Amino acid sequence: MSTQLNNQLTNTVEIERQTKETNIALALNISGSQQININTGIGFLDHMLQQLASHARWDLDIQVKGDLEVDDHHTVEDIAICLGDALQQSWRNLSSMQRYGQRLLPMDEALIMCAVDLSGRGIYVGDLEFSRENLGGVSTEMFEHFFRTLASSAAITLHINPMYYRNNHHLAEGCFKAVAYALKEALGSATGENTTKGML
């Protein structure tokens, strides 16, 4: 079960999700100052989420107790659900936004393209193929699942296209950073209408 609380004084969206598989408390402020505190039980996932929040210039607090004795699937998926819920509530509350964002990001030898549309439609398009099955305690197949779940939960269109890479760590980190910068641009303020339909 998920609950959503919007703190109007601080522009912070708080999400709590409790299931038989995970217990998650998350707080997101997309207009923050990089106050970040993340404890998922998986060190490498903490690192990736810290990159996302830091480069997007968010405040992000995530505290998780997951069934890691089973595997990492439920923890990664449920974090994406909660973060997406908070992100959707945040962007829908904006009085103005760019709507679209993109970034071509180099991470040493890796090059990742990312494009975002705050469309109101949860669509993910990408092809993340790693040469390792596990990276820092995370099944590499879960990175794409994270982004697909995030896009669905946040009601955004998200494209991630790795152009090339050699190092798996650089591929994963580059994807999170590219998404961060694309979201930062899309969430930026703008004048005028961002859709001819009248609403997203």
In a domain, 196, yes or no: no
| CATH code: domain of residue 19 | 3.30.230.40
CB 7 within 8 A of CB 14: yes
In a domain, 198, yes or no: no
In a domain, 195, yes or no: no
* pLDDT at residue 5, as a whole number: 44
Average pLDDT per block of 10 residues along the chain, 200 residues long = 47 96 98 96 98 98 96 98 98 96 98 98 97 97 98 99 98 99 95 57
Of 176, 174, 167, 111, give the one whose Cα is nearest residue 135.
167
Residue 145 structure tokens: 């699942």
Rounded distance, CA 10 to CA 18, Å?
A: 24
Of 14, 36, 52, 39, give the one whose Cα is nearest residue 180.
52
DSSP 42: -
Q: Answer whether 0.75 is exceeded by the pTM.
A: yes
How many distinct structural domains can be found in the chain?
Answer: 1
